[in-house]
Amino acid sequence: MKNITILGAGLVGSLLATLLARRGNRVQVIEKRPDLRVKSWHDGRSINLAMSERGWQAMRLVGVEEAVKQFAIPMHGRMIHDPHGKLAFQPYGDEGQCIYSVSRSLLNQTLITEAARHGVQFLFEHKCTAIDLQTNVLEIEAPIQPPPKGEERPHPSPPQGEGEKSPLLRRGLGEAGGPDLLFGSDGAFSSVRLAMMKRPRFDYSQDYIDHGYKELTIPATPGGDWAIEPNALHIWPRGHFMLIALPNPDKTFTCTLFFPWSGSPSFDEIQTPAQLTDFFAKTFPDILPLMPNLADEYFRNPTSALLTVRCYPWTYQDKAALIGDAAHAIVPFFGQGMNCGFEDCTVLDGIIGQHPEGDWQAILRAYEQARKPNADAIAELALQNFVEMRDKVADPKFLLRKKIDAHLFHQHPDRWVPLYTLISFTATPYAEALAIGKRQDAILDTIMALPDIENCWETMDYEPYISGQRSEVRGQNV
């Protein structure tokens, strides 16, 4: 049994806590935010997320699939809104195959509750300010608790006023009663990663894209119903930018505008409510009447940046490891950041199971070697998918290509599986899916260049094109 500290009670940290506790470890989670179960907060990041097969596998592993399904809304495909308000539905897969819109807050609460049920101790409103991996000391800031009735504050008095904090509490990893192992599930700007960066030969890069994002809302109709089709992920593709909308259980939709920071049009350019309304009327005419609070929300809600973080190694000796966004933050365009972080946990749990002797150095090494190539692959795919979502989904050539892709899948399911299906509906390792996708893309390029393909695609013999493809696809279709 190990004493383990997990830094960050976000989606990944709270899932990991259950898995580690179930394996007999003593687990403590330190989180700078308040406990979501008693005090709701929103940090400006997506209110809801798309959960797909890899996420569900993790939910099944910890036994919360049914609980999460209670508030998960199936989305069977993309609903494309053209600039004239015309709709086109593009299914994600076969009938019954769907991804789910899940509330970030409810999911996080469910995972925290499950971890607490397994005896995990949570310390909320405790912020880690420094980590020394050599001495295994964490520095933590905690809020001042009001002194118990009849007692005075300790002296000397801490500073008063805004952000009033106690003097730093020092927690030693490895000291009697303290943790032996530290997991950094503390997100894209991880403190654990920062500590690792001070070690020699730690590779690190962060790349921002030229687009930021802002969240907006489509409320329920005055009659309390959905304003647009609930069982779809809505996209308003507009070339180099886009708006998307995912449904919420209260019949609202959370929309996200992915928009350039500067240039025309851009966040920089839209400065007044009149400019905003004018822009929406021209660009998203069908949605403007559905957003009565557009200007309020647009000028009140934060505009946030999007980045890819790559680093390696993810572990330090047998003492520390990065997981989730702390190891691999990616842009959100394949809806896989959380799913990938959950898969990190599933894979790590499997590796722990293969090491009953509890050799943590070997466990952590095997974990980072298994996950790093897959994290790199999904980072690449997520960047590519932005172009597909904001631009290609409205292009007739692209739609024909998608039809042929699906047709080949139906004709040869053992030899051809569309990339989207591999990523969202199977557990095929991301790196393998990327390689398969590249091979299939090259074949589709050849097919699309055939004369009269628009008219003969349904009756063509594709055998000469696809022969030489792999004969088996790993993972399970759901």
Residue 338 C-beta-side C-alpha neighbours within 13 Å: 26
For ligand FAD, the closer CB: 7 or 120: 7
Alpha-carbon span 253 to 258, nearest angstrom: 16
* Nearest CB to ligand FAD, comparing residues 216 and 444: 216
C-alpha to C-alpha distances, 463 to 63, 230, 326, 333, 412, nearest whole angstrom: 43, 39, 44, 33, 9
Shortest Cβ 359–ligand FAD spacing (Å): 25
* CB closer to ligand FAD out of 216 and 408: 216
In the complex with ligand FAD, which residue's Cβ is closer, 44 or 353? Answer: 44
Query: Tokens at residue 454, please?
Result: 């628009």
**Nearer to ligand FAD (CB atom), residue 132 or residue 441:** 132
User: Which token pair is 170?
Assistant: 């020092």
Select 46 or 440, whichever has its Cβ closest to ligand FAD.
Answer: 46
Residue placing its CB nearer to ligand FAD in the complex, 381 or 444: 381
Tell whether omega for the bond before 247 is within 30 degrees of 0, i.e. cis.
no
Structural contact between residues 399 and 352, judged by C-beta atoms closer than 8 angstroms: no
Q: What are phi and psi of 107, to 5 degrees?
A: -65, -45
Token reading at 72: 């998960």
3-state class (DSSP) for residue 172: strand
Q: List, in order, residues 6 or more apart from 246 with CB less than 8 Å away.
A: 48, 49, 50, 73, 75, 101, 233, 234, 253, 254
Q: How far is the CB of 44 from ligand FAD (least distance, A)?
A: 9
Shorter beta-carbon distance to ligand FAD: residue 31 or 180: 31
Nearest residue (beta carbon) to ligand FAD? 10
Q: How far is the CB of 125 from ligand FAD (least distance, A)?
A: 9
Cα 248 to Cα 48, 220, 319, 393, 455: the distances in Å are 7, 10, 40, 24, 41
Q: Which of residues 13 and 237 has its CB atom nearest to ligand FAD in the complex?
A: 13
Region of 63 (left: φ > 0; alpha: ψ -120 to 50; beta: rest) is left
408 beta partners? none
Neighbours of 64 (CB within 10 A): 18
Q: Which is nearer to ligand FAD, 46 or 374 (CB)?
A: 46
Given the complex with ligand FAD, which of 53 and 405 has the nearer CB atom?
53
Distance CA 454, CA 183 (A): 53
What is the rounded CA–CA span in Å between residue 328 and residue 77? 27
Query: 124: number of CA atoms within 13 Å, CB side?
Result: 14
Minimum CB separation of residue 158 from ligand FAD in Å reads 19
Residues in touch with ligand FAD (CB under 6 A): 7-13, 30-33, 45-46, 49-50, 127-128, 185-187, 191, 213, 256, 324-326, 332, 335-339, 341
φ, ψ for residue 114, nearest 5 deg? -65, -45
Contact indicator for 137, 170 with CB cutoff of 8 Å: yes
Round to whole Å and give the CA distance between 50 and 338: 9
Please report, for the chain, how many H helices and E strands are present, in that order. 15, 19
